[in-house]
Amino acid sequence: MKNTYNRFYNLLFVLAPWVIMAGMLQVNFQKFLPYQRIFKGPNFFDYFTVTDIFVTLLVGFLAYGLVSGAIKFNKRELPLELKIAAVLLMAAGLMQVLFQRIYEPVLSTPTEYFRMLFIFPLIFTVLLFRTTEEATAEKLVKSYMLTATFFSILALIQYLFGVFPGEQYDFMKRLTWPYLDFVTLKSSSANWAAFFVTPAVIFSFIKIVNSFKKVDFGGDFLIYNGGLFLSAITLYLTQSYGAFVAVFVALTLYFFRFFKTKGFIIAFTLLLFAAGAIYAIQSGTYKYMVLTNQVHYRYQNSVASRGDIMKMNLAMISAHPFLGVGLNQYQSYFSANQKAILGYQYGELQPPPHAHNFFLSMWTSLGFFGFLGMLILAAGLLWRSGFKPDQPAVFIFIAIMIHGLIDSYYWRQETAYIFWMVVALSYIYSITSERKRSHQDPMVAPKKIKVAAKENERIAVKF
């Protein structure tokens, strides 16, 4: 009975990517779903998603499992930098809830926003790391790949045929579905879709390369090939140049660590050819021509707007270095202070909802402690990983950090969960890799033999 309960508990984590995607669809298409008022909070964007309920159930199952003895904490100790980051993020969020000024209009209460994007994802990460079995991590990766594949199928069907509710694509013909304004069903940013599938592209690519090394072409090989094909097409159609650069850098570093010099040169050359082909095709798109000022556009292009956003970021941090401007208050603060700081009205239809930089978003939203926590986590994780090629999650983390230089890879619930899932998997892969290396180390066996011989000698003397 205890074994059955433990297996079911681990199965819940394997199902987590599907629940996370269901929560994303719930938010984007809530006008079509019944009983949504049950999930609503006091403000417009406050809600409980199925993902929130799922994590609450996980905590309940864990509590019963610990009491009954069906579940035990494993031997994986939380890394020091993860502990420090969690404490700093919790402290930062608590200070936001207690002391932060609220700017009008109120988009959501700090408590709800903090719970949805930090408290529950951190709980999920700790439970995944400390309570799941070894095999669960690999099954979770496969589950995420299948989820990303299903996501890509739906998004591509809408992009090609427009059969689902909401716009087929945005005015630049970028793939954005299912990220829509849930009231108007107009397209949101294509970057959110890019955030969702980028990890799948890198995971599947590295898994396929490793399959060739191991000469393993079973069912998993087909899963990763299908996932790579569909998620890569989806990513390309988002025309997210930040994601393109992030994938290029992450795979270049992977090739550098995986191959010897000759193999790296060949692989990198092929990667450059692929990048050149993408550039040649993209140079004829509307987005590229707007970006390079080849066509007139009524708003600023993204390069010019990024300059204004960075100026606002630095002004926010200078004026509020300790607390920032508050959780989900960036857009309201931006709107109220843009003329005073920029000297003119921001050149887009609406002020941006975040700082378009991963670390500065943490600082402006959670204050200095939030920024410091994420900085310590990133530095510690990358240092600990050693960029080993048998640890695919760390290369996804690198892509997140690269893309995070020009965008905020975090501020949707599913994106936050994917971020923390990548963090947990990076550590789990690192521990598993070290364990395998220690078993394969030719010096380990002789040491064990010597210890055993000394023990036998001691017993013989005793008798």
pLDDT for the residue 103: 75
Q: Where are the alpha helices (DSSP H) in 2-79?
A: 2-28, 50-68
CA distance to 15, 158, 223, 247, 386, per residue, from 226 (Å): 19, 19, 5, 18, 29
More confidently predicted of 396 and 434: 396
Helix (H, G, I), strand (E, B) or coil at 296: coil
CA distances from 293 to 286, 298, 300, 302, 347 (A): 10, 11, 10, 11, 15
Average pLDDT value for residue range 258-277:
94
**Domain that residue 136 falls in:** 76-462
In order of 46, 194, 413, 414, the CA distances from 28 in angstroms are 13, 16, 12, 12
Same domain for 116 and 134, yes or no, is yes
> Which of 72, 92, 125 lies at the terminal end of a domain, its last residue?
72
| Other C-beta atoms lying within 10 Å of the C-beta of residue 336 | 15
pLDDT of residue 151 exceeding 80, the answer is yes
User: What integer pLDDT is reported at residue 354 of this predicted model?
Assistant: 87
Residues 194 and 334 both lie in one domain: yes
pLDDT of residue 457: 46
306 and 232 within one domain = yes
pTM of the model: 0.90
The verdict on 219 and 170 lying in the same domain is yes
Boundary of a domain, candidates 19, 37, 72: 72
- The pLDDT value recorded for residue 216 is 65
Cβ count near 77 (within 10 Å): 12
Shared domain check, 140 and 47: no
Q: Is 70 exceeded by the pLDDT of residue 459?
A: no
Same-domain pairing of 109 and 68: no
Domain boundary among 41, 72, 103: 72
Residue 187 φ then ψ, to 5°: -65, 140
Q: Tell me: do 49 and 93 sit in the same domain.
A: no
| 240 pLDDT more than 50 | yes
The Cα–Cα gap between 204 and 207 comes to 5
**Mean pLDDT, range 257-276, rounded to an integer:** 94
Mean pLDDT of 70-95: 93
Q: What are phi and psi of 47, to 5 degrees?
A: -165, 160
Residues 92-105 pLDDT 10s = 999 998 888 877 66
The pLDDT confidence band at residue 415, using thresholds 50, 70 and 90, is: very high
Structure tokens at 314: 């630095």
pLDDT surpasses 90 at 387: no
- Which range among 10-24, 201-215, 315-329, 442-456 has the greatest average pLDDT? 10-24
Question: 129 and 27: one domain?
Answer: no
If asked whether residues 368 and 343 sit together in one domain, one would say: yes
Tell me the mean pLDDT in the region 37-46. 70
What is the distance between the alpha carbons of residues 250 and 238, in angstroms, rounded to a whole number? 19
437 against 241, higher pLDDT: 241
Interatomic CA distance for residues 15 and 139, integer angstroms? 9
Provide the domain count of the chain.
2
- Please, what is the average pLDDT of the chain? 86
Most confident of 100-104, 152-156, 183-187, 390-394: 152-156
> Is residue 103 domain-shared with residue 50, that is, in the same domain?
no
Q: Are 82 and 61 members of one domain? A: no
Q: Answer yes or no: is pLDDT of 460 > 60.
A: no
Identify any residues that bridge with 40 across adjacent strands, giving them in sequence order.
Answer: 47
- 115 in the same domain as 41: no
Q: How many Cβ atoms are within 10 Å of 243's Cβ, its own excluded? A: 25
